[in-house]
Chains A and B, each alone.
Chain A
């Protein structure tokens, strides 16, 4: 069974750093892209960027480029989303999602990680 299991909810202060994770199982982790999708409270879905775990190639939405870093450790089938300096506006639910190589849809999603940034 394909699963993407994300790390638990986080509460952070502005300016702090954070890394959340997404562990894949039940499939060949290096055969599919992992994307990250943001959903701010009461709002819609926003694609942030993605990574090819086989070679760690990444591409980002311009809206998120420079503010977050996507990485992966294929040895443990885990992708990461990282911030070096959080802002209150980063408060949101973050989902990881699997996408096929050369495909532009997401067939499996993680359960989401709620990040709250508040002083």
Chain B
């Protein structure tokens, strides 16, 4: 069981917006602004999409945005495109025995 809880799958049609949630506790997501999101296409390495809750690295489309409320962080993808179909993982710093924890991952299907 992963430390952070994500939905197993989400789907949307091209042009629509979707949101992926990432629920933790006050020891991780809720207690620190160190939530990051990664995109992973099949057979590829993960790619950083959002860091420190809502910051986008250079080169990442502004269709990707992040936010947090309480113990739940969210990744929103607007204007869905076929190329967005991938697995998405959240991650957070945690004050528990391990510094970094990942969510279980969410498979995004673009219909």
Q: Is B52 an interface residue (CB 8 A)?
A: yes
Q: Is A17 an interface residue (CB 8 A)?
A: no
Complex Cα–Cα for A46 and B98 (A): 11
Establish whether residues B98 and A63, one from each chain, have CB atoms under 8 Å apart when the complex forms: yes
For window 1-55 of A, CB contacts with B under 8 Å fall at 35, 37, 44-47, 50
For window 86-103 of A, CB contacts with B under 8 Å fall at 95, 97, 103
Establish whether residues A105 and B105, one from each chain, have CB atoms under 8 Å apart when the complex forms: no
Q: Which residues of B contact A45 (CB under 8 A)?
A: 38, 40, 46, 89, 91, 102, 105
Q: Is the interface on chain B under 10, 10 to 19, 20 to 34, or 35 or more residues?
A: 20 to 34
Complex Cα–Cα for A112 and B89 (A): 17
Contact with B along A98-119 (1 / 0, CB 8 A): 0000011111011110000000
Q: Is the interface on chain A under 10, 10 to 19, 20 to 34, or 35 or more residues?
A: 20 to 34
Complex Cα–Cα for A82 and B47 (A): 25
Closest to B45 in A: A109
Establish whether residues A50 and B99, one from each chain, have CB atoms under 8 Å apart when the complex forms: yes
- Known A-B contacts: A44-B89, A104-B92. Give 14 more (CB < 8 A): A44-B102, A44-B103, A45-B89, A45-B91, A46-B102, A47-B91, A47-B101, A50-B99, A97-B46, A105-B48, A105-B91, A107-B48, A107-B51, A110-B45
Name 15 interchain pairs, CB-CB below 8 A, sorted by A: A35-B100, A37-B102, A44-B89, A44-B105, A45-B40, A47-B98, A61-B98, A104-B36, A104-B91, A105-B34, A105-B48, A106-B36, A107-B51, A107-B57, A111-B45
Nearest 5 CB-CB pairings of A with B: A105-B36, A104-B93, A105-B51, A109-B45, A47-B100
- Residues in A lying within 8 Å of B, measured CB to CB: 35, 37, 44-47, 50, 59, 61-63, 95, 97, 103-107, 109-112
- Residues in B lying within 8 Å of A, measured CB to CB: 2, 32, 34, 36, 38, 40, 45-48, 51-52, 57, 89, 91-93, 97-105
